[in-house]
Structure 1
């Protein structure tokens, strides 16, 4: 299918070929007929992409600090590689989509094939959208009109926050597309609306809609104008829909407001607020979040869990429906806002001069006879079966920044890369000479050429994908964790037992030269191992914390160090006991210590902390045995004490990924990828489950 993408690295906007998405549970697959270009938002993204690295850094000072911390912890070159990998990731443009439903995912009951719908889908021929971000389009509304649904809901949410009552005076600063729609909805609400903008054409449109509109460049001081039109009382409310870097706008909003007036920010402006201006009038100020309640809440958007209407009357979906109702009843007139309707293939007529465009709303028209293709050829190449053929499943950060760079320069033959949306997978296929980009995992499993399936998706998908691959006779590499619970693990064990494929988990730290040097010095004698991971905080709403999706950070990441202790001691884990920080430790598993007993009498401690400084080393290992002590700092430096003939090993950051993957390729040619004994993989996985159980029970838990 065709999709419009923006490059943050080059600044180019392109119409790319990518595989169409497959319908997912809780979502609907939509064939696009029209989409609306949000010129303000998309102009900002395009201009950011065209900016130099220095200009980008100036626009994101918070990101610069993160980069500097990463340099301190991991070194300059790994950080530079990470930054450039981030910039290479293409960004899909668009969020105002109209089309017809062509497939319905499991668990969806409110939509059927053939329904005409509006959604926040991108500029693509086919989009797969969660049901709470989709609304039915009334028959009397054209596709062009329906394309205004989502952007209209942005303005509507600003109105809901300012809570206007009939007869109040509301000022709208910035009469672009969102501003014009916001002002017209306020008029429909019975408000006296004053608006201003620097574009005379927009001023005339606003006046035609019953708005008192003016251009400050024509001699009208905004504050004076508003005061004169409110009998010097001031505005009851101000909605800012402008996009500007200046702090003048927030100052104007405060000075034109009456005492105890309300100000809501929908756009993007400078926010150096004068306390005196707000203090003297007891003004309230609020920033509006996109389409409304539910935005950025995975439970609502991705899992389809609706907010109860009696308690949250207006969600983002119900805002979509309200905008459609206003268009249907004629209270919101959007036809006259359409500047042009452009075929998708001629997208550059819109984006080629988007920085200078005076258009209000540009509509993209799609070919309604397009057929979804879930796999595309990116590079034509000849594969040698005797070397092993790989399918990579997942095109996220691990695949992009770790796995594929580690395979660079090897003879890895990757035939397929699978990604849910198709965009990231295609970009990685182009960069790393991968033959096919697809969104269809089953297609990969049915390909007899494929020997090895490498799974790097979100954690909740691992178990089912491993089972399906094993049942197809494939060798499987899965980035940790193998499973999220005992039931999933039992199913994997059953599939492994009944099929010929081998299994490997991405416990790469075994393969670091630092780990291997320590093991060669210590040998198999009983030892004490202390492993500390300064993991860094991750916001609580990120998927890794969701036990049903990410499994939490102990199962999802601390398992690396449980495996490392097994490797160094040469013994399986017998029992674990975990304690966590705080009064409610079960809610704080990313600040925890795990005591480990091993079958050969060795002991271990895994400290997994998220409350340390990011500038400090991320990982540290201490090993004590036979009057020897070895310390490893962040897989860069290992120091020996009491170790005759060895004092220090220093390398660039090396967590063992390259050694792990090159060894896998070697063993794949021999018919196996099982670099770690299967019983150790299962033992470590069970130990991670036991750690969580131990925390809940407050006692040691045996690993059986």
Structure 2
């Protein structure tokens, strides 16, 4: 299928061939008929892409600080590589989509095949959209009119926050597409509306709709004009839909407001607010979040968990429906806003000179004969060697892009497929790394007899199911950590594993030259190890914290260090005790200390903290054995104390990814033992589960093998004594 994408690196807008998405649980698959170009938002993206590195840095000073912190901890070259990889990531354009439902996912009850719907889908011939971001279109609303649904909801949410009443005066600053629709909705609500813009064409259009238009370029003082129009009282509310870097707009909004007036920001402006201007009038100021309640909430948007109507009357989906109802009742006129209608193939008529476009609303028209049957995209000019050792990748996220593919490329891995849910990122990576096929159906890899090994880097909750299916298909498997999120998933993997193929989990630290050196120095004698992870904070609403999706950071990330200590000690974990910061720590904590007791008498301590400084090294490993100490500092420097003939190893930061994928490639081609023994992988995974159980139970938990039931230390003590640790 065809899809519009934007390059952050060059600013180029491309109509790309990508695999059509499949249908997902809780979603509907839509064949697009029309989509609306949000000229303001998409103009900013294009201009940002065309800016040079210095200009990009000036526009995102917060990102510059992150880059500088990364340089301090990881070095210049790894940081530059990460930055350029990020800039090379394509961005799908568009969020105002209309089309026809052609497939309905599981757990979707409000839609059926053939329904006409509006959604926040992208500029693509086919889109897969979660049901809470889709609304049915009334019969008397055309597809072109319905294309205004999402962008109208942005203005509507600003109005809801402003909370105007019949007869109040509201000023709308910025009469672009959102501003004009906002003004129209306010007028339909019985408000007196004043519109402010620098464009004479937009002012004229607003006046045609009964809106009082003020153009500062005509010599009118905006504040004085509003005060005159309100008899010196000032406006009841100001909704700012403009996009400008100046602080003048927020200042003028305060000056033109009445005492205790309301100011709502929908657009993007400078926000150096004068306290005096707000204090004297006791003004309120609020930033509006996109389409309304539910926005950026994964439970609402991705999992379909609606907010109860009696408590949250207007969610983003209900805002979509309200806009469609207003258009249907002819309370909101959007047809007059359409400036141009352009076939998808001729998209450059819109994007070629978008920075100087005077259009208000541009509609993309899609071909009726498009088909979603093709799920495999052949990459022109790419090829794969048909010899043994063919790889297929499932997942095209940051780890695949920034870590795995560069490492595989350096070791000459033979990659035939890359699968991604949406198709855009997978196709972009396929072209960059000369991978022959991009697909949205990962089972293509399992059905292809050429594929020897499947590499899985999806979200954590998909790992176990994909691993099980790949093992059952007779494929070698590499899966990025964690292997599973719970014991039931792990049991299914163990049942599917028969030893005829290998299973590798991405525990790369054991392959770092620093860890290899320490292992060589200390041997297999009992030892004490302290591994400290300065993990950094991740916002609570990010999926990694969700126990059902990410497994939390202990299962999802701290498992790395359980494996590392297991490798260095040469033993398996026998019992685990975890303590977390806080008076009532939750199971998905990311500030915890984990104590590990090993079968050979070794002990391990994992300090997994998210509350440290980002300028401090992320990882530090200390190994104590036989009056000797080895310290690994962020896989850049290892120092030895008490070792004959060794004091220091210094490299660029090397966490072992290249060595891991090099060994994997060599073993797949030539045969040999698994990179990590299967029983160690299972033991490490069980130990991560035991850490969570320990936090819940408040004590030591024995690591029970598959088929057994985990027991607390007190229960084990009834069978045989255990030393108190």
Give the TM-score range, shorter chain: over 0.9
Residue 494 of structure 2 aligns with which residue? 493
- How much has 1:672 moved relative to structure 2? 5.9
Give the Å deviation of 1:625: 0.5
Q: Which residue is 1:105 aligned to?
A: 105
Q: Distance in 2 between matches of 1:652 and 1:425?
A: 29
- Look up the match of 2:299: 299
Give the superposition deviation at 1:235: 0.3
Distance 1:376 1:245 in 2: 42
| CA displacement at 1:93 relative to structure 2 | 0.7
How far apart in 2 are the matches of 1:164 and 1:392? 53
Q: 1:93 to 1:662 in 2, by over 3 A?
A: same
| Pairing 1:290–2:287 present | no
8 Å CA contact retained: 2:411, 2:661: no
Tell me by how many angstroms 1:381 deviates: 4.9
CA 1:383/1:92 → structure 2, altered by over 3 Å: closer, same or farther? closer
> Which residue does 1:546 correspond to in 2?
546
Cα offset for 1:673?
Answer: 7.1
Bigger drift between 354-363 and 207-216 goes to 207-216
| Kept in 2: contact 1:240–1:264 (CA 8 A) | yes
SS of match in other structure, 1:669 = helix
Tell me if 1:121 matches 2:133.
no
- 1:383 to partner: Cα distance: 3.8
List per-residue Cα deviations over 1:498-549 (Å, max 9, x = no partner): x732111011111011001001010111110111110100000000000000
1:615 aligns with 2:611: no
Which residue number corresponds to residue 220 of structure 2?
Answer: 220
2:29·2:102 contact (CA, 8 Å) conserved in 1?
Answer: yes
Map Cα deviations across residues 164-193 of structure 1 (whole Å, 9 max, x no partner): 000000111111111110001101100011
1:317 corresponds to which residue? 317
1:85 maps to what in 2?
85
Secondary structure of the equivalent of 1:232? coil
Please give the per-residue CA displacement for 1:79-111, whole angstroms capped at 9, x wherever unaligned.
000000000000011000000001111110100
Identify the residue that residue 476 of structure 2 maps to in structure 1. Answer: 475
Moved more, 3-12 or 401-410: 401-410
What is the rounded CA distance, in whole Å, between the counterparts of 1:261 and 1:416 in structure 2? 58
* Offset from partner CA, 1:607-641 (integer Å, 9 cap, x none): 10000000100000000101110000000000000
Q: Which stretch has the larger CA shift, 432-441 or 584-593?
A: 584-593
Deviation string, structure 1 residues 559-593 (Cα, Å, up to 9, x no partner)? 01100111001001100100000112125621100
Residues 504 and 673 of structure 1 are in contact (CA less than 8 Å); yes or no, is this contact kept in structure 2? no
- Correspondences of 1:596-675 after superposition (within 5 Å): 596-671=596-671, 674-675=674-675
- Matched residues in 2 for 1:211 and 1:321: separation? 25
Counterpart secondary structure, 1:255? helix
CA shift at 1:384, angstroms?
3.7
Matched, 1:573 2:573: yes
Tell me if the contact between 2:384 and 2:435 (Cα under 8 Å) persists in the aligned partners. Answer: no
Name the counterpart of 1:162: 162
In structure 1, distance between residues paired with 2:371 and 2:590: 46
Q: Tell me, yes or no, if structure 1 residue 96 matches structure 2 residue 106.
A: no
Question: Secondary structure, in 3 states, of the residue corresponding to 1:585?
Answer: coil
CA–CA distance in 2 between the matches of 1:669 and 1:428?
24
Counterpart contact for 1:264–1:285, Cα < 8 Å? yes
The size of the alignment, in residue pairs, is: 703
Match of 1:7 in 2: 7
Partner of 1:142: 142
SS at match of 1:220: coil
Task: Tell me how far apart the structure 1 counterparts of residues 512 and 20 of structure 2 sit (CA, whole Å).
Answer: 39
Look up the SS of the partner of 2:448 in the other structure: coil
Instruction: Write out aligned runs for 1:30-109 (5 A).
Output: 30-109=30-109
CA distance in 1, matches of 2:585, 2:245: 44
1:21 paired residue number: 21
Which ranges in structure 2 are unaligned for 5 or more consecutive residues? 705-725
How far, CA to CA, are the matches of 1:55 and 1:610 in structure 2? 32
1:437-457 CA deviation, whole Å, 9 max, x = no partner? 000012111111101000000
Tell me how far apart the structure 2 counterparts of residues 384 and 325 of structure 1 sit (CA, whole Å).
Answer: 57
Q: CA deviation at 1:670?
A: 3.1
Deviation of 1:386 (Å)? 3.6
| Contact 2:546–2:588 (CA under 8 A) maintained in structure 1 | no
Question: Could you tell me whether the CA contact under 8 Å between 1:475 and 1:673 is conserved in 2?
Answer: no
* Alignment match, 1:378: 379
Partner of 2:394: 393
Aligned to 2:352: 352
For normalisation by structure 2, the TM-score amounts to 0.96
- 2:436 is matched with 435
Aligned counterparts of 2:592 and 2:88: Cα–Cα separation in 1: 36
> Aligned to 2:194, what secondary structure does the other structure show?
strand
**Alpha carbons of 1:385 and 1:588: their partners in 2 closer, same or farther (altered >3 Å)?**
closer
Task: Check the 8 A contact 2:410/2:658 in 1, yes or no.
Answer: no
Question: Counterpart of 1:413?
Answer: 414
Match of residue 694 from structure 2: 694
- Cα distance in 2 between the residues matched to 1:163 and 1:412: 59
Aligned partner of 1:422 in structure 2 is 423
Measured in 1, the distance between the counterparts of 2:257 and 2:235 equals 5
Contact 1:578 1:595 in 2 (8 A): yes
CA contact (8 A) 1:476 1:673 kept: no
Aligned to 2:328: 328
Change over 3 Å in CA distance of 1:272–1:571 after alignment to 2: same
**Who is 2:529 aligned against?**
529
User: Take 1:697 and 1:30, find their aligned partners in 2: how far apart are those partners?
Assistant: 47
Q: Cα distance, 1:210 vs. partner?
A: 1.0
| Distance in structure 1 (CA, Å) of the matches to 2:407 and 2:178 | 46
Q: Distance in 2 between matches of 1:10 and 1:194?
A: 39
Residue range with higher mean Cα deviation, 197-206 or 115-124: 197-206
For residues 668 and 385 of structure 2, the distance between their equivalents in structure 1, rounded to whole angstroms, comes to: 13
What is the alpha-carbon distance in structure 2 between the residues aligned to residue 315 and residue 509 of structure 1?
45
Q: CA offset at residue 216 of structure 1?
A: 1.1
Whether the aligned pair in 2 keeps the contact of 1:470 and 1:500 (CA below 8 Å) is no
Q: Which residue of 2 aligns with 1:449?
A: 450
1:198 maps to which residue? 198
Q: Which residue of 2 aligns with 1:402?
A: 403
TM-score by length of 1: 0.99
Give the superposition deviation at 1:411. 2.4
Partner of 1:245: 245
Is 1:254 matched up with 2:281? no
Q: Distance in 2 between matches of 1:382 and 1:219?
A: 64
Q: What is the DSSP-based 3-state SS (H/G/I as helix, E as strand, rest coil) of the residue aligned with 1:668?
A: helix
Q: Aligned with 2:135: secondary structure?
A: strand
1:58-99 Cα distance to aligned partner (Å, 9 max, x none):
111111111111000000000000000000000011000000
Q: What is the aligned partner in structure 1 of residue 717 from structure 2? A: none
1:669 shift after superposition: 1.4
After superposition, the CA RMSD in angstroms is 1.0
State how far apart, in whole Å, the 1-side matches of 2:657 and 2:214 are: 62
Whether the 8 Å CA contact 1:580–1:588 is kept in 2: the answer is: no
Secondary structure of 2:281's aligned partner: coil
Following superposition, the deviation at residue 214 of structure 1 comes to 2.0
> Is contact 1:503-1:673 (8 Å) kept?
no
CA positional deviation for 1:409: 2.8
